[in-house]
Amino acid sequence: MPGNLPTQPTRSGRVLASDRGSSTAHRPALVLAEAARAISAVALQGRSADEALSPRGQARGSEGSAAAARAAAMQSAIRAVTLGTLRWYLRLDAVAAILLAGRPLAPALRGLLVAGLHQLEFSRGRPEVTVSSAVDAARLLRQPRAAALMNALLRRYLRERPALARRVAADPVAASAHPAWLLSALQESWPDDWAGVIEADNAPPPMTLRVDLTRLTPAAYRAELARHELRGVPLPWCPSAIVLGRPLAVDQLPGFAEGCVSVQDAGAQLAAQLLQPQPGERVLDACAAPGGKTGALLEASAGRVELTAVDSDAARLARVADNLRRLRREARLVCADLTQPPAWWDARPFDRILLDAPCSAVGVIRRHPDIKLLRRAEDITALADRQRQLLTRCLSMLKPAGRLLYSTCSLLPAENERVFETVLAQLPRMRPLSVSELLPPALAASVRRCGYGIQLLPGSAAGTDGFYYACATVT
């Protein structure tokens, strides 16, 4: 039978709409089948998890609301299995390779095998149910001849789990579930912290909220959460931040639709505290999409600033507009590439500039585990070149004695202090400002000093994702 196994998926390995409409008894198999499709799209086709998980249809008809609720629950389950599997993919795929022993497998089936291994290792479900669901999922993927093989492989894993775990632990990439280039970079850059970063990357992230302090107090919002039987914990160093006891869909968050609260990591919320926009100032939010920091800047200044949000991607800029409508805030939105001459600019310098530069995003892997599979070592050089161009351009638009905040969600010095220091050496008018002096006292002990900037590390006492910040002015 294995010799007759098809090596190419039929119908692209997709689950048909008629299959997705099956009874709830088949729901675990449907979830595994759709997760397998998404996992193979990321791991083998290089698509982002968000793209691969994009719903392909909406519920319609007289039972629209009930059908939509079921579809939302299904999509949430698919997303959880997909992201969990991607988080551990490099370990689980190493196990899959041992089990397969060189046997070819269609991409969607490889994704299904890895997803099944994830569920056996990390879910609370009964192993026999998981195995049965994976067998059914193979049929849903139009690979009925693979069902028996899927059953055999997963049952072998259950029998040989300790021995397989020992074999995988001997490989640093599989053991850490991080690509070799990134593991090496983290060990070199953070010799005392890399193990904690790896551990944080491989754990589900907390769900942190940003409260609009111009509309309600954190205590009042925590009380509102309690009325909905939800628990929120404040962060001492970030007045606007509340960490939820458990994650939930945003449409279940009280006050979210009204713009009173947003989802944003506390490390990202720090940007508004460091930039400190003042009423009446002209503020530039460069590379603004999707608009989380745009909203935070407007809330921090109670909207009394003239803010321009720029992004080179029109679709992503539309998300900024959507976020601002929900927050009931206003800004000028400009679609432009800041590495090019700014034809949109009126030559009036900005008092404050936030440059949240495009980067490798390896500081937010715990939220976007597909980064482990999509990012390559060679990407860093091109990103750093673009970051230097953006920083140079933004400094040219800064008012003398104004403040620019350079930010990334990277942990790599090549994108952080080296970019900042290179531009500093090339521009005589640029002067660094001390970020440490701007930090909330309760946070100071939890950051790492990096030249003129600071680094927040995932897994540190700060309770944040990984962010780098540095400040500059011009004379």
Render pLDDT for 407-425 as a digit per residue (tens, 0 to 9). 999 999 999 999 999 999 9
Q: Is 359 a catalytic residue?
A: no
As a whole number of angstroms, the distance between CA 95 and CA 81 comes to 18
Render pLDDT for 342-355 as a digit per residue (tens, 0 to 9). 999 999 999 999 99
The band of 197, judged by pLDDT with boundaries at 50, 70 and 90, is very high
Per-residue pLDDT at 21 exceeds 70: no
Q: What is the mean pLDDT of the chain?
A: 92
**Fold match, 2-176 / 266-474:** no
Nearest to 376 by CA among 194, 180, 193: 180
Per-residue pLDDT at 11 exceeds 80: no
Task: Give the rounded percent of residues in the chain with a pLDDT score beyond 70.
Answer: 93
Kindly give, in sequence order, each residue whose CB lies less than 8 Å from that of residue 124, ignoring residues fewer than 6 positions away.
Answer: none
Instruction: Break the chain into its structural domains and give their ranges.
Output: 2-176, 266-474
Per-residue pLDDT at 20 exceeds 60: no
Q: Which range among 2-11, 109-118, 290-299, 360-369 shows the weakest confidence by mean pLDDT?
A: 2-11
Per-residue pLDDT at 18 exceeds 80: no
The band of 65, judged by pLDDT with boundaries at 50, 70 and 90, is confident
Nearest to 173 by CA among 163, 186, 160: 186
pLDDT at 16: 42
pLDDT (mean) for 72-83:
94
pLDDT at 341: 93
pLDDT at 333: 98
pLDDT at 72: 85
pLDDT at 6: 32
Report whether 273 contacts 440 (CB < 8 A).
yes
Which among 359, 394, 409, 471 is annotated as catalytic?
A: 409
pLDDT (mean) for 243-264:
95
Fold of 2-176: N-utilizing Substance Protein B Homolog; Chain A (1.10.940)
Fold of 266-474: Rossmann fold (3.40.50)
Per-residue pLDDT at 40 exceeds 50: yes
Instruction: Kindly report whether the peptide bond that precedes residue 179 is cis, defined as omega within 30 degrees of 0.
Output: no
pLDDT at 66: 79
Task: Look up tokens 């508004």; give the residue.
Answer: 272
pLDDT at 63: 53
Task: Give the rounded percent of residues in the chain with a pLDDT score beyond 90.
Answer: 89
pLDDT (mean) for 228-255:
95
Nearest to 238 by CA among 218, 266, 206, 217: 266
pLDDT at 314: 97
Nearest to 262 by CA among 195, 213, 313, 318: 213
- Residues facing residue 262 across a β-bridge: 210
pLDDT at 69: 80
pLDDT at 71: 85
pLDDT (mean) for 19-36:
76
Q: Which range among 15-19, 255-259, 293-297 shows the weakest confidence by mean pLDDT?
A: 15-19
Render pLDDT for 115-170 as a digit per residue (tens, 0 to 9). 999 999 999 989 999 999 999 999 999 999 999 999 999 999 999 999 999 999 99
Per-residue pLDDT at 278 exceeds 90: yes
The two three-digit tokens of residue 170, written as one number: 């001997």
pTM > 0.85: yes or no = yes
